[in-house]
Amino acid sequence: MKGVIVLATKEMVTKNFGEGKWKEALQKAGIDKEPMILPMSDIDDQIVMKVINALCEVLNLSFTQVADAFGDYWVNEYSHKIYQVYYDRCKTAKEFLLKMDSVHVASTKTMANAHPPRFEYEWKDDKTLIMHYKSSRGLIDFMVGLIKGVGKYYKEDLKVTKLDNERVEIVFPY
Ligand code: HEM
């Protein structure tokens, strides 16, 4: 996983829960000395998962609660520092989510070793979109948290439901 995701997680935990909790989680995950991380760095997926699971324990939150906290922080705070242009191009949550497949390809194009998640889109009816998650990482709960964050950013009351480990249903209010 790219360092940018870990850096965003670290900032979310530090700001919302305190630096001590981040340090505690790293210790629990068996990381004695935190390495220097850059947005482009490659962090072993297994280590990322260990840190996320340790965060659940340290913060006393479920995996989905950590995923929701990350999604909210990434969409409403962190990503604006680097990726504001993607938000400026879209006026609604629907437009933004429909661009997510190409945004993941574009934003990782110049990053060596990136394996961005891919998304496929299926309309159930004119208000109901099913987003298919294509990734070997099994982080669909993060996808759900991120989509909820998009609803908050565009001030739209989205109904977001995980259907299974590969599909999320989104009902738009319009
Ligand atoms: C401006 C907005 C966004 C940008 C620039 C962005 C970019 C990225 C980047 C660079 C990664 C790391 C990829 C890698 O390590 O190979 C990533 C991971 C991820 N992104 Fe986004 N992202 C954005 C918003 C979203 C949204 C709204 C969703 C939900 C639909 C989403 C879903 C995910 C998931 C689930 C991962 C974890 C990796 C995986 O599951 O394979 N992202 N994103």
Q: Which residues line ligand 1 (CB under 6 A)?
A: 1-2, 4-5, 75, 79, 83, 86, 100, 103-104, 107-108, 114-117, 135, 137, 139, 142-143, 146-147, 150
* 3-17: pLDDT as tens digits: 999 999 999 999 999
pLDDT tens, N- to C-terminus, the chain (174 residues): 999 999 999 999 999 999 999 999 999 999 999 999 999 999 999 999 999 999 999 999 999 999 999 999 999 999 999 999 999 999 999 999 999 999 999 999 999 999 999 999 999 999 999 999 999 999 999 999 999 999 999 999 999 999 999 999 999 998
For the chain, the domains span 3-61, 91-171
* 37-58: pLDDT as tens digits: 999 999 999 999 999 999 999 9
Tokens (6 digits) for 95: 């437009």
- Which of helix, strand or coil describes residue 162? strand
CB atoms closer than 10 angstroms to residue 39: 13
Specify the pTM: 0.97
How many angstroms is it from 104 CA to the middle of ligand 1? 6
Residue 138, φ and ψ in degrees, nearest 5: 65, 35
CATH of span 91-171: 3.90.1520.10
H or E segment at 16? helix 3-17
Closest residue to atom 41 of ligand 1, CA basis: 117
Residue 167, φ and ψ in degrees, nearest 5: -140, 135
- Kindly give the interhelix angle for 140-153 and 63-73, rounded to the nearest 10 degrees: 40
